[in-house]
């Protein structure tokens, strides 16, 4: 009985670090994919004509409905628990009159995994 107890403790001491490592590895993979999703969408926003950014990029992609650069929903199971939210708004700088057309847009892309925000990427885009 004592030998079984000692063996169980020894096995637990060996296996537990591996299970914790698997969890950390999975979280790292989710963060890497979330960063890629945010950066890809931000690149698309930056490459859109300034006048079209506000009208085209204020939306939320629900979980499992995240789209690639061409607008197709990712079909890989790696992306099923991800969702994205993008907001774009005009920004007036202090030196600029509020009556003139704004020269900047603040774009924010937020990526979530099972409802938990993993990445938030913000960029100021000029004319």
Model confidence at 6, pLDDT cuts 50, 70, 90, reads: confident
Distance spanning both ends of the chain, measured CA to CA: 76
* Residues ≥6 apart with Cβ < 8 Å to 115: 63, 83
Tens of pLDDT along 61-88?
A: 999 899 988 889 988 888 999 999 999 9
Q: What is the mean pLDDT of the chain?
A: 87
Taking the C-alpha atoms of residue 60 and residue 50, their distance in angstroms, rounded to an integer, is 20
Choice between 23 and 78, residue whose per-residue pLDDT is larger: 78
Determine the pLDDT at residue 25: 81
Q: Where are the domains of the chain?
A: 2-126
Helix (H) / strand (E) element for 20: namely helix 2-46
Tens of pLDDT along 28-50?
A: 899 999 999 999 999 999 999 99
């Amino acid at each position: 009985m004592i030998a079984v107890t000692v063996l169980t403790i020894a096995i637990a001491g060996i296996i537990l670090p591996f299970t914790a490592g698997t969890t950390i590895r999975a979280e790292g993979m989710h963060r890497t994919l979330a960063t890629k999703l945010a950066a890809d969408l931000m690149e698309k926003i930056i490459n859109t004509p300034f006048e079209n950014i506000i009208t085209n990029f204020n939306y939320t992609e629900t979980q499992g409905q995240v789209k690639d650069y061409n607008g197709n929903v990712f079909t890989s199971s790696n992306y099923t628990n991800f969702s994205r939210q993008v907001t774009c708004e005009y920004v007036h700088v202090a030196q600029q009159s509020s009556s003139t057309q704004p020269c900047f847009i603040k774009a924010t892309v937020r990526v979530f995994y099972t409802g938990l925000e993993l990445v938030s990427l913000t960029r100021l885009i000029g004319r």
